Structure 1
Amino acid sequence: MKLNLGPGQGAQVAASCAIVLYAQEGGQTVYGTVHPISRNDSSDSTSDEARSSIGAGRPIDRAALLSCLNELAANTAPRAEFLPETVLAVSQSAVTWWCRPGLRRVFFDCQELGKRTAIVPHPGLVFHAASNGFSVFALQEDSRPSPESTLHEPPYFNTWDLGKICIGTAHVPKRIDIASIAGWESGFFESAFTHPNHGGKRVNHPKGEFAFWQAMLDGQYASAFPKELLIPMNKPLGDLIRGKLGA
């Protein structure tokens, strides 16, 4: 079986061996064997899977296993790269970054507000792109947040509790890395907000979220985002980075 690692990840690779682990009933691994994988290029084979077979095994050699694991770890580890000031945390499954407060265009397409677009102020935001979803949070701070910074509900439509973003038809990157941050942000801001999702309140406006965004689109808060309307989640940024936000 062949595997293409994708752009920037090296050439196409092929399976060379298989490791079989044997465990006791309780799940503790007690023995292992390594098996060569051979290719059968017979004329009646129709796929890479059909042309490959696993050979007889032999006991795993401890030194060889450790060498293999070390080599694999070195080849799969994230490559060193420059970290912009806005990047807050990077792991193998997630990237967390900060978006400075400022003016950005928003798009709406819903019955209550119609099809509208305007450039409006936004608070400082924290975005989190991970293998289990995309999320956004608001901040009171105008500067780069710390792990102790309190996360606030995102004051946006198309978001669920705990900051989860309903991606819908938005175009977002397939990769989760620093180079894809701009694409994730564009996917969020350049798609139309269509409706408030079920769950808790997203903004503390006395007349509700539709009235809030009507005022925003009409320019009532043109000078600065009204941060007094943000709703604290009583969760620190550090919980998001450590994967404990829902705990």
Structure 2
Amino acid sequence: MNEAEFSIHTPTENVLTLNKAVLLYHGRNSGALATVHEILTVDGSPVIGAGRPMTAQAARQLAADLLQRVAHGGFLPETVLYVHGDLILWWVPPASRHLVFRVDADHADAFGGAERGEAMPQPGLIFAASSRTWRVWAVKGSRRPTPQTPLYQAPYFNVDAAGRICQGNVPVPEGTTVEKIASWNDAFFRSYFTHPNVAGKLLRYRGGSYAFWRDMLDQRFARFPERVLVDVKTTLGRLLGKQEGV
């Protein structure tokens, strides 16, 4: 039997342990079969044991694990909350951000101009991005969110009641690796906010959302007034329990 030596180098100091072996079989009609084998230790050396057919569930889990490793391998910063395949959720702590609004003529006078931009305090936010979705929610406080953290409607124009962000003509980054988080943040905050995109209340403020953001632009608030946030009646943990819909 021919033997070949190889080594695996990981991007972190984590130690990888040989656990199982997967053997792939391909037929002439393009069919494929995979078997999973336990790894036995014989005389101090690993040996592939008897195998069993890989189930569809096991194949999906293996693919997800490998995709997660490829997309998010290495050190994960504290702001990253969850990764699964190409889906990544991250937290943006409360901070001052420069936002630009471009409203229609019907609201320009009440808004103080058709186009205005200022640096303003913003609430904590949770973003979710994948090849299928781009969403955002608000959170209260400045602590890192946990599964028990309540979620609130992101109080921004161009965001619907489910947190989906209307991309418009905003170019978004390719891929959802950790290294792209800053680019995703820039794509959101540097876009033009044009109009509310919810049927109900975007936020709770006397005069409505246009009056609120006009007052924010006028520097009425030194800190973001979290009392205006609308509770969406779910938590981060419950959201992740329905991850297919994230």
User: Is TM-score (shorter-chain normalized) higher than 0.5?
Assistant: yes
Q: What amino acid is the match of 1:157?
A: F
Match of 2:69 among 65, 78, 92: 78
Matched residues in 2 for 1:104 and 1:191: separation?
Answer: 12
Q: Residue 16 of structure 1 aligns with which residue? A: none
Task: Find the counterpart in structure 2 of residue 105 from structure 1.
Answer: 98
User: Displacement, 1:202?
Assistant: 1.4
2:136 is equivalent to residue 145 of structure 1: no
Separation in structure 2 between the aligned mates of residue 76 and residue 244 of structure 1, nearest angstrom: 16
- Distance (Å, rounded) in 2 between the aligned partners of 1:211 and 1:142: 26
Matched residue SS, 2:116: strand
Determine the C-alpha separation between the residues in 2 that align with 1:161 and 1:75: 33
Match of 2:231 in 1: 232
Task: Return the letter of the residue paired with 1:116.
Answer: R
The aligned counterpart of 1:183 is 183
1:156–1:89 CA distance, 2 compared to 1 (3 A): same
Please report how far the alpha carbon of residue 173 of structure 1 lies from its aligned counterpart in structure 2 after TM superposition. Answer: 0.8
Q: Deviations over 1:41-74 (max 9, x none)?
A: xxxxxxxxxxxxxxx67996856986xx7xx858
- Give the whole-Å Cα distance in 2 for the aligned partners of 1:176 and 1:160: 22
Q: Do the aligned residues in 1 keep the contact of 2:96 with 2:121 (CA within 8 Å)?
A: yes
Q: Match of 2:236, as an amino acid?
A: L
Distance 1:103 1:58, change over 3 A: closer
Tell me, which stretches of 5 or more residues in structure 2 are unaligned? 1-23, 36-50
Q: Distance in 2 between matches of 1:194 and 1:183?
A: 21
Structure 2 SS opposite 1:180: helix
Q: 1:58 to 1:76 in 2, by over 3 A?
A: closer
Rounded to whole Å, the distance in 1 between the matches of 2:127 and 2:34 is: 45
Letter in 1 for 2:145: P
Q: Give the count of matched residue pairs.
A: 193
The CA deviation at 1:244 is 5.0
Displacement of 1:243 in angstroms is 2.9
Q: Which aligned runs of 4 or more in structure 1 are off by greater than 4 angstroms? A: 56-66, 72-77, 244-247
- Give the Å deviation of 1:75: 6.0
Deviation at 1:152, TM superposition (A): 0.3
| Residue 241 of structure 1: how far off its partner (Å) | 2.5
Q: Deviations over 1:15-65 (max 9, x none)?
A: xxxx9xxxxxxxxxxxx9612xxxxxxxxxxxxxxxxxxxx6799685698
RMSD (CA atoms): 2.9
Partners of 2:68 and 2:86 within 8 A in 1: no
* Cα distance between partner residues in 2 of 1:58 and 1:122: 54
3-state SS in 2 of match to 1:228: helix
Query: What's the secondary structure of 2:74's corresponding residue?
Result: coil
The separation in 2 between residues aligned to 1:150 and 1:235, in whole angstroms, is 6
Percent identity, please: 34
